[in-house]
Amino acid sequence: MTRTKAQLRDALRELMTQRRWDKIRVQDILDRTGISRSAFYSHFDSKYDLLVSGIPDVDIDFSKPGGDGIDLAPFFMHVNEMSDVMRPLLTQPVLGDIMADFHQSLVRSWRTYLGLSADTANSATVDWVLPDMLAGALLAVAKSYLVQRHRPAPEAVAREFEGHLTSLLSNALPH
C-alpha cells in the first residue's frame, strides 16, 4: 500500500468516527491529508471506493491452532477493534454493499473450513446452504455485538457462538 493510500484511509477512518458517512465529502478527506484532488482520483474513484479498498478479500481461517475445532476469537477481536468505524456505518445504506461483499468472503471461508470444494457450490447436493447460513449468522451476531452498549469481551462472544456452532455442526455434518 502506498503512503498516499494509507493517509487517505486513515483520514477517512478518523472522519467516520466524527461524522455520518453521508456527511463526509472527498474534500473533507483532502483537507485532512493535504493530498490533492488529482492524487485522490488517481487512486480511487470515490469515497466509497476508498472505503472498500481498506476491506481486503477476507479469507478467514476458523480453525483452532492445531486444527481441532472452531476459533472465532480473532474474528470478534477484529470486529471489536473496528467498532469505531463500523458502528457509524450501521445506519448507512453503504453498509449493505459492504456486508454483501463480506458475506461472500465469509461463505468462502466457511466452505474451506467445512472441506467443501468450490466446484460443488451449485451442484444438486446443495452444499451452499450451510456455509451461507453460517456466514449470515456470523454477520448477524457481529452487527448485534457492535450495537451493544456494554459489549462483553470478544473472546466471550466467540466462545458462546462457537458452542452453538459446535452443536449445530455435529448434527449437520456426516460423522
Q: What angle do CA 33, 55, 138 make, to 5 degrees?
A: 140
Q: Which of 13, 147, 128 is nearest to 80 (CA)?
A: 147
Q: Dig out the grid coordinates for 175 from the structure.
A: 460423522
Taking the whole predicted model, whether its pTM rises above 0.75 is answered as no
Looking at residue 22, the DSSP 8-state letter turns out to be G
Which pLDDT tens digits describe the chain residue by residue (175 residues)?
589 999 998 898 888 878 888 889 999 999 999 999 999 999 999 988 888 886 655 567 888 887 778 899 988 998 888 787 778 778 777 777 788 888 888 998 898 888 887 665 555 556 788 899 999 999 999 999 998 889 999 999 999 999 998 888 777 666 5
Dist CA 11 CA 31 (whole Å): 9
- List C-alpha distances in Å: 168 to 78, 111, 126, 131, 161: 24, 15, 17, 12, 11
